[in-house]
Chains A and B, each alone.
Chain A
Amino acid sequence: MARKGMVIDLKRCIGCNACTIACKAENATPPQVFWARVLEGEVGKYPSARRVFLPVLCNHCKNAPCLEVCPTGATHQREDGVILVDYDKCIGCRACMAACPYEARYFWENGRGYFPEGLTPFEEVGYRKFQRKVVQKCTLCAHRVDNGLEPACVATCPTNCRVFGDLDDPTSPVSRLISERRGFQLRAELGTDPSVYYVQ
């Protein structure tokens, strides 16, 4: 079975946050919930300083700490490596949030939307799939991937900095990119073995 994964080319990324919003739109995530986001900081001293951008999402780790700590089996891993949360089984204990070293998980507390006046028609439709007081996170756009599409963040990226594919196939574009440009994983030393790789 193919292991689904992603390579993010940090040389291409310009920090535009199209991925952040594509995810918001595709998955209708509630306020302060970002399944995809771009961390931004700076390195160096003036005048040799620059901003740096790091797009992050759930790493869909092969050895996922969230999976191990989930007491109910709500967090589960598909054969293709995608980690999902079954909201019906989640009891909102948030052990997974504490266990995740990537801060990729969110807890939707109050059920409120973006405007205090109430949910917009878009939110009415989009939030229906969620439940309050459970944990949610990036699904690697499983609903798209299962229909032959790329995840929304990959599809929209204006600089084409994200490549999606099969990590198990050594000839796939993701695998080639990882080997040719020495792909690395975030906090690899933890042994989580993320399915999201980066190249510089």
Chain B
Amino acid sequence: MDAGGEDTWVYSTCEQCNANCGIRVRRVGGVVVKIEGDPDCPHDWGRLCAKGLASLMSLYDPYRVTTPLKRTNPQKGLGVDPAWVEISWEEALDTVAQKLREIRETDPGGLIVVSWDNNVAAQMARPWASAFGTPEMHSDFSTYSCGIALHPLTYLTNGTFQQEIDLDYCRYCLLIGNQFGFGASINSTLMAQKMADARMRGLKVVVVDPVGSNAAAKADEWIPIRPGTDAALALVMVNLLLNEYHLYDAPFIAKHTNGAYLIDDAGNYVRDKRGGKPLVWDMEEERAVPFDAGAGKVALEGEFVVEGLPCRPAFQLLKEHVAKYTPETVADITTVPAETIRRIAREFGEAACIGATLVIKGVELPYRPAAAMPFKGVVAHRHATLSGLAVQLLNLVVGGMYAVGGYRGVNLIGPFSWWQPQAEADGLLVTPRQLGRGTDYYGFRVRPPETMGFAELLPLAIGPEAIMQLNFLEPERFQELPHKPLALIHCRHNFVMNSVNPEQMAEILRRIPFMVSFAVEMDETAEFADIVLPDCHQLERLNIFPNRLRINVSPLSGYYYWTIQQPVVSPRGQARSWRDVLIELADRAGFLPDFNIILNTTLELKEPYRLRGEEKYSYPDIADRWAKSIFGPQVGLDWFREHGCYRIERTVVETYPSANMTPRFPIYFEIVQRRGEEVRRVTEELGLPWDTSDYQALPDWKPCHAFQEDDPDYDLFVANYKIPIHFQTVTAKNPWLSEVAENHPYAYKILVNADTAKKKGIRDGDSIWVESVVGRVRGMAKATECIHPEVVGISGGFGAWAKGKPVARGKGAHFNTLLPLRPEQIDWISSAIDECVKVKIYKSQG
């Protein structure tokens, strides 16, 4: 395909970040000369960000890994030379297959597969791991990713993996700890367009963040806040809305939440003696009736007695619960002035237009053009889940869930009516099966650990990462593991940089006897591998449907759509797509038939496209069968190669499921309390030291570990923040993007509030150390007015040290070096790491 003389455009999909924009790539004489957004793809309508545009430079990066490599130095450590020797693919595959066979015979649960490659991981690697016989397939091994604590609470509240604001109609949005619409979050390119249009239309944007970010720069108001206190701010706003301003949507709470469900003194639902259904108080009949008995008017407030037991509606409990959060006390906690708190609470409540409706294309819908959006900043804390739920209460009390202009999940209704909103037995919204792990929350059985991360004790998490790492680091802490870590296979996930302090990560990896890295470049994690296999660049890969309805197909686009990622040029050197290698390994290690059978189910292949167990299929063949199973015989792989994007316009109801929604949203998180009791019981029986104190039905603000730091030298918080020109650790090696960052006044610097810097005798441009209890990093100070005085800001996933990434090496400071892995800094509900860390800063000598 690299023939000269041609000038052509190829449709594909970008993979520089998780947004996965539709792109078209121009190839002239076999050379990629330009990447642009695909003008026909609703994901971006032809627009593309700096990262996507720049990816052709990483395609041609001379430091790419292009041959299989074998480690000859058995010692592993940061900066330790692995002493690679080149080997043939044959030798590499034999070595890995042999190891796989051994593990599969002895203890298949000891194999861990990790990939942040969302597409292959979900489509192929997860079924591959299942066929092998291990439950340890993780999309993340880092404890640190953006959503590890966010997605559990979106599952719990909006019923989907994702979240967004209806920017087509929103009039007031509160972005807490995130930059939604400013180059970050789901569908970032589309959201940037929508956010700009909405702001021009008059949307008021309020950004709550310790760092004066790009979003704060464009906001109508930036409210700097002390890290780790977002929950207090949200809860005082809820208090003001409920108890002072009376700005809440009572009919919504009664009909569309569990706010009327009667709660006993122990915090449990009062249930019907016969059917076991939660009861509500029928005000007309003056008696308790099942929630779905069609009571005309239900009580949201008051005290009642049912079967001799006192009880109160959940909403009454919520009102009482939040009363302790007063503007004055919260001002002390957050540093946000009390009058500001009062003002934004009132603005938010009034902007919600409670009671209003809007008719769109003939469908009458609730109109609540105010939304609060929590993301990374809110959940980067020890009490991540509680903090996120606290923010969600804002959307719930004003009735903004799935309303026009409000807050919503992503794809609660699937295309072709594949799925619809569903309720569990108690009437609450459950996640549709196709949208991932949240599906299991209401049916979860807490039980003794069966897996190395103790996922069985994490009923409301999407992954067990921090606990798993703690288990590897301190195997004696929780008695014996159900399996021993025997091998790790990973692809496109640089968790040595992307996780806690790298020395701790190094120690964890030393405890895993065999490691295989699929690598495009020799990054900090691949340096720990025993075998390195050269992977393809995004412009060399074939992947069908990299955009997934679960993750990044936004209702705001107006469509459901499917795209293709296809090779624009041949793989460099001996690089092979890791997905093709997985198929090969399954064959060599003897579990290909199981893999094929599982793919039939996971890809929902239909006859005549189903796979037969005994045959070996190429990926293009599988992709073609998958496409035809969905779209029929005319729309197979070739159709996608030629056209790029297949799209279907959404109906009003598919965009706004609130039109005829019967499942209820939780406003009282009974499930959290109930699961917590189960975790407490099981861990007590097993004698495991386990913190279950955050499993509560109504969220609180609790001070995280940093607030108990008693060494006065550690007098500042450190915060990590995003800049739109880079994504995690992925893009720092790109010379164009690195060059922009080098010329950028903030990107590679350490942000210190100008006053704070002055007090410490630090001047703009000084070389300084930032030191936490676990590590220190050095960088150039940027004295700025755009950061909270108690906070040091470090952006992105910079400060690389791998020799194989010379462009990124030594540029910027590595934030995660400052993060300790220890039990007191883990959110025990989501297994996320607490990034609220205290540091000291001082000038570097010399």
Contacts and interface: CB of A to CB of B under 8 A. Distances in A.
B partners with A: yes
Interface in B162-188: 182-183, 188
B29 interface: yes
Among A18, A41, A45, which residue has the most Cβ atoms of chain B within 10 A?
A18
A25 B29 CA distance: 17
A17 interface: yes
Nearest to A14: B182
B183 A158 contact: yes
A26 B32 CA distance: 11
A53 interface: yes
Contact of B28 (A47, A125, A159): A125
A16 B49 contact: yes
Contacts of A122: 31-33, 56-57, 59-60
B786 A20 contact: no
Interface string A132-153: 0000000000000000000000
A52 B213 CA distance: 10
B725 A115 contact: no
Given A51-B212, A115-B735, A158-B189, A16 B62 contact: no
Contacts of B736: 21, 24-25, 114
A176 interface: no
A51 B217 contact: yes
Interface string A106-119: 00000000110110
A25 B171 CA distance: 37
B34 to A, nearest CB: 5
A158 B196 CA distance: 9
Nearest to A114: B735
A160 B57 contact: no
A141 to B, nearest CB: 12
A46 B737 contact: no
Nearest to A33: B739
Contact of A125 (B31, B47, B54, B787): B31
A174 B784 CA distance: 35
A18 B49 contact: yes
Contacts of A14: 182-183, 192, 195-196, 214-215, 217-218, 724
Contacts of B35: 25
Nearest to B46: A155
A116 to B, nearest CB: 8
A46 B789 contact: yes
A42 B53 contact: no
Contact of B54 (A21, A31, A157): A21
Nearest to B787: A46
A182 interface: no
A117 B28 CA distance: 23
Contacts of B753: 46
A24 B54 contact: yes
B725 A16 contact: yes
Interface residues of A, number: 48
B313 to A, nearest CB: 40
Contacts of B217: 14-15, 50-53
B47 A16 contact: no
* Chain B interface SS verdict (over half): mixed
Interface in A19-48: 20-22, 24-26, 28, 31-32, 34, 37, 40-42, 44-47
A161 interface: yes
B224 interface: yes
A12 interface: yes
A58 B94 CA distance: 58
Contact of A25 (B53, B61, B200, B223): B53
B824 interface: no
A47 B222 contact: yes
Contacts of B197: 160
A156 B785 contact: no
Contact of A158 (B192, B740, B754, B787): B192
A89 interface: no
Contacts of B787: 46
B36 A16 contact: no
A24 B740 CA distance: 11
Contacts of A12: 196, 199-200
A106 to B, nearest CB: 13
A188 interface: no
B767 to A, nearest CB: 21
Nearest to A159: B196
A120 interface: yes
Contacts of A26: 34
B53 A159 contact: no
A42 B787 CA distance: 11
A190 interface: no
Given A40-B746, A122-B56, A157-B47, A46 B754 contact: yes
Interface in B32-54: 32-37, 44, 46-51, 53-54
A183 interface: no
A9 B53 CA distance: 22
A46 B785 contact: yes
B755 A46 contact: yes
Interface string B785-804: 11101000000000000000
Interface string B627-659: 000000000000000000000000000000000
A156 B212 contact: no
Contact of B785 (A28, A42, A155, A160): A42
Contacts of A11: 199-200, 218
A11 B195 CA distance: 11
A160 B44 CA distance: 12
Interface string B56-74: 1101111000000000000
Contact of A156 (B36, B214, B223): B36
B192 A156 contact: no
B218 A25 contact: no
A16 B724 contact: yes
A26 B34 CA distance: 6
A120 B62 contact: yes
B745 interface: yes
A76 B196 CA distance: 37
B744 interface: yes
Interface in B196-219: 196-197, 199-200, 212-219
B34 A25 contact: yes
Given A17-B724, A40-B744, A50-B786, A156 B47 contact: yes
A1 interface: no
Contact of B786 (A21, A51, A125): A51
B692 interface: no
Nearest to A50: B217
B193 interface: yes
A47 B206 CA distance: 14
A173 B199 CA distance: 20
B33 A42 contact: no
A55 B306 CA distance: 67
A168 B753 CA distance: 47
Given A40-B746, A46-B753, A20 B50 contact: yes
Contacts of B54: 21, 24-25
A44 B36 contact: no
B745 A158 contact: no
A126 interface: yes
A32 B199 CA distance: 34
A31 B742 CA distance: 12
Contacts of A125: 28-29, 31, 33
A16 B46 contact: no
Nearest to A20: B740
Given A50-B219, A50-B222, A120-B60, 6 more contacts: A15-B217, A24-B736, A51-B216, A121-B31, A158-B188, A159-B192
27 contacts: A16-B214, A16-B724, A16-B725, A21-B53, A25-B35, A25-B53, A25-B736, A32-B739, A46-B224, A46-B785, A46-B789, A49-B784, A49-B786, A50-B216, A50-B786, A51-B217, A114-B736, A120-B62, A122-B32, A122-B33, A122-B57, A122-B60, A155-B46, A158-B192, A159-B193, A159-B195, A161-B196
5 smallest CB-CB distances across A and B, nearest first, come from A49-B785, A120-B60, A159-B196, A158-B192, A114-B735
